[in-house]
């Protein structure tokens, strides 16, 4: 590997994402991504996994593109919604765990009375 390749954004972990991940994470459509590529706003590389081709995009460019088209609040709201969904999921899991622990506690307390 050449020294300039080691510094390249294409080889840094988390610096790139697939077009499918960009659609899911940022709410973009395939047409928007292809249009931005054709307009020169997004760099891409074509990769293949298990025989299926996809575009590999630079994350910072995708974020800048979303910022430009939808405004800076869009990105913040998207991240906040994702975090809120994760918190709600964890709370639901913890509530279920509390219920099962309360049941086990009641069983143990009842065994003392016997």
Together in a domain, 47 and 58 = yes
Give the C-alpha separation, 66 to 71, whole Å: 7
Together in a domain, 58 and 96 = no
The pLDDT tens digits for 89-108 are 999 999 999 999 999 999 99
Q: What is the pLDDT of residue 96?
A: 96
Indicate the SS3 state at residue 82: helix
The pLDDT tens digits for 10-65 are 889 989 999 999 999 888 999 999 999 999 999 999 999 999 999 999 999 999 99
Together in a domain, 37 and 53 = yes
Q: Which domain holds residue 32?
A: 1-70
Instruction: Give the chain's radius of gyration (CA, Å).
Output: 23
Encode 32-50 in three state secondary structure: HHHHHHHHCCCCEEEEEEC
Give the C-alpha separation, 49 to 62, whole Å: 21
Contact 61, 19 (CB under 8 A): no
Query: In Å, how far are 38, 87, 95, 102 from 98, measured between CA atoms?
Result: 53, 16, 5, 6
């Amino acid at each position: 590997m050449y020294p300039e390749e080691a510094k390249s954004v294409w080889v840094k972990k988390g610096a790139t994402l697939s077009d499918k991940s960009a659609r899911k994470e940022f709410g973009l459509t395939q047409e928007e991504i292809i249009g931005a590529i054709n307009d020169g706003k997004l760099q891409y590389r074509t990769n293949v996994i298990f025989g299926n081709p996809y575009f590999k995009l630079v994350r910072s460019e995708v974020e800048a593109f979303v910022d430009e088209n939808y405004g800076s609040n869009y990105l913040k709201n998207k991240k906040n919604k994702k975090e809120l969904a994760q918190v709600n999921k964890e709370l639901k899991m913890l509530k279920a765990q509390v219920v099962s622990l309360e049941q086990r506690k009641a069983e143990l307390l009842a065994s003392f009375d016997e």
